[in-house]
Structure 1
Amino acid sequence: MINGKEKLIVAIDTNEFDKAKELIDKLEDSVDIFKVGLEQYVATRGKTVDYLNEKGKKIFLDLKFHDIPNTMQSAVRAAVRDKVWLMTIHVSDLEGMRQCAVAAKEEAERLNIQKPIIVGVTVLTSLSNQDLQDIGCNMTTEELAIKRAKLAKESGIDGIVCSAQEVDKIVEACGTEFVTVCPGIRPATAAVGDQKRVVTPADAINKGAHYLVVGRPITKATNPKESALNIVREIENA
């Protein structure tokens, strides 16, 4: 049987440390993995990462590193020192991604800690086919996501971030061991918000997603803990 808590990642959607801390405290019995994104990390200067480590929670550091290879691998080493469980880089050139994979392994071995999972961002779930055309890309979101997923696997990183709408195609192309992290997850009763390519938790799991990222349907709910537990149950009943 699937353990829903091992699949659910809750995105902390506030830029204030006190509110983030309050949310973590409310969810600590129902959620094991929390995502700290760019807004949250910069606004709190990393304090939320420290707090999650104190709580013994798994940390998904979603800063989407995208720079020259030397800068990216240095940033990866710094994230390893923060004892994060999973982190994102953008799918970019092969050499840059290879350096990130090597840097994570070397730094974790140096510190004698578990190496974090590194996943590459393929196509942001806020982007549509029209958005890609607007920036000169003639592929669909699905075509581009699959192409970038194959490149990420070749580089040696652990997996990718993608919409659950194309996760089954990526699993087919890259194998079941290649980690897939899917944002844009919305229960059927939740508002879509600014996401354009959304999928329900059960559908995402059935398509082969390893981890589901959920933000506002939990964090903005009247009862965040109950909302999280409902999604856990939906995952387990998929």
Structure 2
Amino acid sequence: MVKGKERLIVAIDTNEFDKAKELIDELDDSVDIFKVGLEQYVSTRGKTIDYLKEKGKKIFLDLKFHDIPNTMKSAVRSAVRDNVWLMTIHVSDLEGMRQCALVAKEEAEKLNIEKPLIVGVTVLTSLSNQDLKDIGCDMTTEELAIKRAKLAKESGIDGIVCSAQEVDKIIQVCGDDFVTVCPGIRPTTSEVGDQKRVVTPSEAINKGAQYLVIGRPITQAINPKQSAINIVKEIESVL
């Protein structure tokens, strides 16, 4: 049976290594997967990645690579060498994503390690329909997420990052073997913050989300460990 811990990814929301280390240590028994994003990676120059490896944790490297194909391939290759478990790229051109999928497979085979998962960012959960209109897109967030998910599936990458609000519809068109990673998850007792499309952990799992990314409701809680335990219990209550 799949455990709730296998579905929970905790985002390390700090730009200080010592605070990140303290959080990782506090959550050691209750969390197996941690997300290292731009703020944490740049400010510590990747130092947190090494510490997570020492602790035997799965690493979600969330740098959202988005560039010309050759640069993307080099970035993906470097991430594979870091032996991360999962990484993000932005959903972009079909051929560029295909090359990322291919180079990840080749590099992992060369190093004789398990290939990390590559997931494509569809539409950031901080964006609303009005935000898309403001930048000249005539689709809703849901329509654009589904369109990009289809493109990601065709390219051969492993899955996508999307809001749990549209994850069930994406699964319908891409299949339940397509990895779905959902940020913007907020327990009912947490503040929404800068997220505009939020869903509770149980709602997200019921919609079919495979992995839930949760940061501040855990990392800024009075008792982060207990908050993580409570969320794992909520996930398991609907599995």
Do the two structures share a fold, i.e. TM-score over 0.5? yes
Q: Who is 2:206 aligned against?
A: 206
Q: Who is 1:145 aligned against?
A: 145
Are 2:145 and 1:172 aligned?
Answer: no
Are 2:77 and 1:77 aligned?
Answer: yes
Using the alignment, how far apart are the partners of 2:96 and 2:39 within structure 1? Answer: 24
Q: Who is 1:100 aligned against?
A: 100
Q: Who is 1:185 aligned against?
A: 185
Using the alignment, how far apart are the partners of 1:3 and 1:172 within structure 2? Answer: 24
Using the alignment, how far apart are the partners of 1:212 and 1:160 within structure 2? Answer: 12
Shift of 1:128: 0.1
Letter paired with 2:185: I
Using the alignment, how far apart are the partners of 2:156 and 2:223 within structure 1? Answer: 40
| Identity percentage of aligned residues | 84
Using the alignment, how far apart are the partners of 1:131 and 1:85 within structure 2? Answer: 32
* DSSP-derived class of the 1:137 partner: coil
Q: Who is 2:163 aligned against?
A: 163
Using the alignment, how far apart are the partners of 1:175 and 1:151 within structure 2? Answer: 13
Using the alignment, how far apart are the partners of 2:185 and 2:171 within structure 1? Answer: 18
* DSSP-derived class of the 1:56 partner: coil
TM-score by length of 2: 0.99
Letter paired with 1:56: G
- Root-mean-square deviation (CA), in Å? 0.5
Gaps in structure 1 of 5+ consecutive residues: none
Q: Who is 2:221 aligned against?
A: 221
Using the alignment, how far apart are the partners of 1:50 and 1:2 within structure 2? Answer: 27
TM-score by length of 1: 0.99
Using the alignment, how far apart are the partners of 2:108 and 2:28 within structure 1? Answer: 26
Aligned residue pairs: how many? 238
Using the alignment, how far apart are the partners of 1:2 and 1:16 within structure 2? Answer: 33
Runs of 4+ in 1 over 2 A off after TM superposition: none
Shift of 1:23: 0.3
Using the alignment, how far apart are the partners of 1:8 and 1:72 within structure 2? Answer: 27
Using the alignment, how far apart are the partners of 2:73 and 2:210 within structure 1? Answer: 25
Gaps in structure 2 of 5+ consecutive residues: none
